[in-house]
Amino acid sequence: MSLILELARIAFVLLFLSSGLNHLTKLEAMTGYATYKKLPAAKLGVVLSGILLILSSIAIVIGLWVDLAGLALAIFLVLAAFIFHGFWAETDATAKMNETIAFFKDLSLAGASIMTYGYAHAAYKMWETGNQLHQPIKIFGWAIYQHIALFH
């Protein structure tokens, strides 16, 4: 089961890692889009969000500060949903559909990021109190008990 969870963590961050790399390697195009969406200090925002996406991805994969990485991704995704994917303001049907999909994708991924935060935070609290192998945490049941070592 540990291998499956490790693969799931890698699969979870592939989108964020790819996006973060694109933020930095396609800086001008991303800055143009951010400017079009009226993001203040667009270039700085693109660079900082690219770094955040890359560092959060790495942290989740290697199991270092996973709770902070999950929380950072959740905040980023909620902001991105509302700043960049305002489907309610679109008049073109195709654009409205695309922005609706992107908006709810970001919110869904924010939910998964919050679960990652909660899972890692609960695992850390168990490790911190020395209960990592004695009893399962009630929030997540046996999954925490079985896989505590994935995060610390």
Q: Which of 53, 25, 56, 23 is nearest to 39 (CA)?
A: 23
Say what angle helices 2-25 and 27-36 make with each other, to 10 degrees: 80
pLDDT score for 108: 96
pLDDT score for 136: 44
Q: How far apart are CA 61 and CA 130, in angstroms?
A: 24
Of the CA atoms within 13 Å of residue 21, those in its CB half-sphere come to: 7
Task: Report the 10 Å Cβ neighbour count for 118.
Answer: 15
pLDDT in tens, 71-92: 999 999 999 999 999 999 999 9
Regions of the chain short of the pLDDT cut 70: 1, 127-128, 130-152
Q: Which residues, listed in sequence order, are joined to residue 141 by a DSSP beta bridge?
A: 137
User: 47-62 as b/e, with b when 16 or more CB fall inside 10 Å?
Assistant: bebbebbbbbbbbbbe
pLDDT score for 132: 53
The domain spans of the chain are 2-150
pLDDT score for 140: 40
